[in-house]
Amino acid sequence: MRLIAALAFLAAAQAEEQRFHYERPLMGTLFAVTCYGTDEAAAKAAAGEAFQAGMEVNAVASDYLPDSELMKLRPSKPVKVSPLFAELLDASFTKARETEGAFDPTLGPLTKLWRETRKTKQLPPSGVLAKARAACGWQDAVWNREAGTLLLKKPGMQLDLGAIAKGFTADRMFAIMKQRGFPRSCIAAGGDLRLGDPPPGKQAWRVGLQTFDPEQPEEVVELENCAVSTSGDLHQFVEIGGKRYSHIIDPRTGLGMTTKVAVSVIAPSGTIADALDTAGCVVGADQAEALGLKFGATRVVVRK
């Protein structure tokens, strides 16, 4: 009798949970927080704090903001970085080492060229490309975890953390939602997701993996307490001379990848999923799955 009463109470408590949804533009895309709970004011406050944390990452690591900590790094001597930046750099250089530079956080000079190419629809002259390539290379950036310092060894070096920052930010935002009593939360960083406990009454979150036709999710997966991130030439590319150059830079050529591939990574954290989806595109359809599974993914879906 007592058990039935307790179950009835639980069911009533569950029924009262509502869905709350908040959105904000951040990092050149739309971020969204969806959560379930009974207290709208608390949900709004928690989401506000989460967005604030996202803006903090952007202020530190954006390569679009001239005043960010990243943009103020200067080559040739070790620079002591803030704790937040240190956390992101540590994750970035770990993934650079593991993927042997398929994910390379030092490609700033090349991604800058790619953005110009997208505007002008002209590939860079070979001399310009060679100069930018010479200023890249994760092995010429010395991240010292103990000292919390970064040394960029070569002149003109410039970080670009665009391939990991969204996942890292989603992790931070989710941690805040959970801390504030909203473990049933989903953080969307553009199309990349960090998921917590499932919505009330559900076994999991249902997620459609992105495909080359964004209107048509190819496969729906049921997930909880993990992240899913997709990379590839699905949306961002430039076409020149009948060739499609993706925004993923091939460190071997310095240009955007020209092979049609999209990689979705499911992993315990957004940071891991985001770094590995990009690395997966670089190593290519045949090796993406093995690489991902070796370095922290729980599942890798490759489309070509």
The residues that touch ligand AMP, with contacts defined as CB under 6 A, are 103-105, 107, 111, 160, 162-163, 231, 247-249, 251, 274, 277-278, 282
Least gap, CB of 227 to ligand AMP (angstroms): 12
231 binds Mg ion (CB under 5 A): yes
Give the contacts of 95 (CB within 8 A, at least 6 positions apart). Answer: 103, 164, 272, 275, 276, 279, 295
Decide whether 69 or 104 has the Cβ nearer to Mg ion: 104
Least gap, CB of 176 to ligand AMP (angstroms): 22
Residues counted in the chain: 304
Which of ligand AMP, Mg ion, none lies near 247, with the C-beta cut-off 5 to 8 A by kind? ligand AMP
Which of Mg ion, ligand AMP, none lies near 34, with the C-beta cut-off 5 to 8 A by kind? none
Which of Mg ion, ligand AMP, none lies near 87, with the C-beta cut-off 5 to 8 A by kind? none
Residue from 57, 159, 163, 189 touching Mg ion (CB under 5 A): that is: 163
For Mg ion, which residue has the nearest CB?
278
277 binds Mg ion (CB under 5 A): yes
CA-CA distance, 263 to 244, in Å (whole number)?
Answer: 17
Which of Mg ion, ligand AMP, none lies near 111, with the C-beta cut-off 5 to 8 A by kind? ligand AMP
Listing DSSP states for 70-115 in one string gives: TTT--TTS-EE--HHHHHHHHHHHHHHHHTTTSS-TT-HHHHHHHH
CA-CA distance, 154 to 73, in Å (whole number)?
Answer: 12
Contact by Cβ (8 Å): 243, 208: no
Least gap, CB of 84 to ligand AMP (angstroms): 19
Which of ligand AMP, Mg ion, none lies near 205, with the C-beta cut-off 5 to 8 A by kind? none
Least gap, CB of 117 to Mg ion (angstroms): 20
For ligand AMP, which residue has the nearest CB?
162
274 binds Mg ion (CB under 5 A): yes
8-state DSSP, 40: H
Decide whether 46 or 129 has the Cβ nearer to ligand AMP: 129
Least gap, CB of 153 to ligand AMP (angstroms): 18
8-state DSSP, 124: P
Which of Mg ion, ligand AMP, none lies near 233, with the C-beta cut-off 5 to 8 A by kind? none
Phi/psi at 29 (nearest 5 deg)? -145, -175
HSE-CB at 167 with a 13 A cutoff on CA atoms is: 28
Going along 202-296, which residue ranges are E strands?
205-208, 220-223, 226-232, 237-240, 243-246, 262-267
CA-CA distance, 110 to 128, in Å (whole number)?
Answer: 10
Six token digits for residue 256: 């955007």
- Tell me, what amino acid is at 238? V
Decide whether 129 or 233 has the Cβ nearer to Mg ion: 233
Least gap, CB of 36 to Mg ion (angstroms): 28
Residues that bind Mg ion (CB under 5 A): 163, 231, 274, 277-278
